[in-house]
Amino acid sequence: MFKEIEKFNFRDSLITLSGGNPALQPFGDLIELGQTNNYTFALETQGTVFRDWFKNLDHLILSPKPPSSGMPTDMDKLAKCFDCVGRCGEVSIKIVVFDEEDYEYARTMRQVCKGWGFYDFYLQAGNDWVADEDVNPEFRISLKGGSDLSQRDSILNRTRWLQERVLRDRWVNAIVLPQLHVLLHGNQRGV
């Protein structure tokens, strides 16, 4: 895998490991080899699996799944991932918000995680092109075909909704961002 990274030959670059649950992969050796070659590493994971090599990361982004995913959050597993705070570089939490229930989940998670240490807390408006039918239709975006960028306005409107919701609640310690990869590439895989 390191040969794939070297193809780009961008020394001093940040390599982000994401997609699915990258914590399931044995990335410890890759991170060690990459860091000896001046790469920095970030991992974005849902926080259901802890690996010892997390402590070697430069950035750890925990992104627990909200209620709309149908996947309950195992707080013990998430807390174990947070245990590497202070051992790895930076830890932040990111929650993708599809609807009001997810928004309330994010607010609850912020309170629950507060005692685990200082970290940045990000919210992103969900792009539910891949979501189940039970996601609130008011927030549904149809991005058929995987790389269709014609729905940018819908994505931005959902981000605006989330921003306004955060402002209305005077939630000053949440950072609202769009899913930039979706704005740039639609739902293409491998970008």
pLDDT in tens, 160-188: 999 999 999 999 889 999 887 777 777 66
> What would the pLDDT profile of 75-109 be if each residue is shown by its tens digit?
999 988 887 766 777 889 999 999 999 999 999 99
* Average pLDDT along the chain: 81
Among residues 21, 17, 11, the alpha carbon closest in space to that of 30 is found at 17
- What pLDDT was estimated at residue 145? 41
- What pLDDT was estimated at residue 15? 85
Query: Global pTM?
Result: 0.80
Asked whether the beta carbons of 22 and 43 are under 8 A apart, the reply is yes
- What pLDDT was estimated at residue 137? 46
- % of the chain residues with pLDDT over 70: 79
- What pLDDT was estimated at residue 128? 56
Asked whether the beta carbons of 95 and 102 are under 8 A apart, the reply is yes
CA atoms lying within 13 Å on the CB side of residue 157: 8
> Poorest-confidence range of 13-22, 77-86, 131-140?
131-140
Cβ neighbour number for residue 30 with a 10 Å cutoff? 19
Residues recorded for the chain: 191
Rounded distance between C-alpha atoms, residue 169 and residue 7, angstroms: 46
- For the record, the structure tokens of 181 come out as 């990869």
Which CATH number is 2-138 given?
Answer: 3.20.20.70
Rounded distance between C-alpha atoms, residue 37 and residue 3, angstroms: 12
Three-state secondary-structure class, residue 138: helix
